[in-house]
Structure 1
């Protein structure tokens, strides 16, 4: 495996790590409250409003990790499968992951909506560039 390919895989792993981190943090916020009886199971069976704000923010952010990041992971896997991983893909991948970390940090702390939207928009723009780049490479490649 080439160095550039490893860097792309590491970007994918960093995105997965963020998702797992948010999941564990969410569990640490939610499970003790249910186990202690502070929150009744019936109150959370259908919706999350019984949880405190921090737990709801973490839950919302965890759900966010299965939106744009899924499209990122598909793009990265496509590049890996087709053997067209280059430094452009790696830089765009890491920029996307950095934007996702920033988005998550804002979402689960201050939740300042304009800042969160800006981080989301940067990630979306980078993801769009990654997909555009991949499509152009595939379209223009003579032997893919």
Structure 2
């Protein structure tokens, strides 16, 4: 696989994170601008934001949890030359679950759907790590 093919899902995950940050900022500024939230009410506590703003904040924050394992795996797979077509397909599926999870979080926030997407991403990432570990432990490194 090419480096571009391997890193493309990483770039999308990064852009998703930045997109959520911009979305969160717009929601926060809209609430403050409309006078529904005063700075003093939120200065010391994230939880004092209205639910739609807090949902966007949680969706953004989630991009620094499970995706960290994804961001750790990709350079390892690149360095050890263990990233193949299966790896790239799984990476795209993982990123798709993260994007769908974030979308549900900032729209309907339907918890059962959100949870299913979260678990699907966990399973996909777990499979990626298992395959990678299998390949590393059973195949000699060609560095």
5+ residue gaps, structure 2: none
Residues 52-93 of structure 1 deviation map (CA, whole Å, 9 limit, x = unaligned): 222111001001000111111111111112222111110110
1:15 matched to 2:13? The reply is yes
Matches within 5 A, 1:1-144: 2-3=1-2, 5-34=3-32, 38-143=36-141
Aligned equivalents of 1:139, 1:45: Cα separation in 2: 50
Gaps of 5+ in 1: none
TM-score, normalised by the number of residues in structure 2: 0.91
For 1:23 and 1:90, locate their aligned partners in 2 and report how far apart those are by CA, in whole Å: 26
Distance 2:47 2:71 in 1: 31
1:32 deviation in Å?
4.2
Query: CA separation in 1, counterparts of 2:138 and 2:82?
Result: 12
State the aligned residue count: 142
**Distance between the aligned counterparts of 2:93 and 2:71, measured in 1?**
14
Stretch moving more, 6-15 or 36-45: 36-45
Return the alpha-carbon distance in structure 1 between the equivalents of residues 64 and 111 of structure 2.
19
TM-score (ref. length: structure 1): 0.90
What is the root-mean-square deviation in Å for CA atoms of aligned residues? Answer: 1.6
Whole-angstrom CA distance in 2 between matches of 1:31 and 1:138? 48
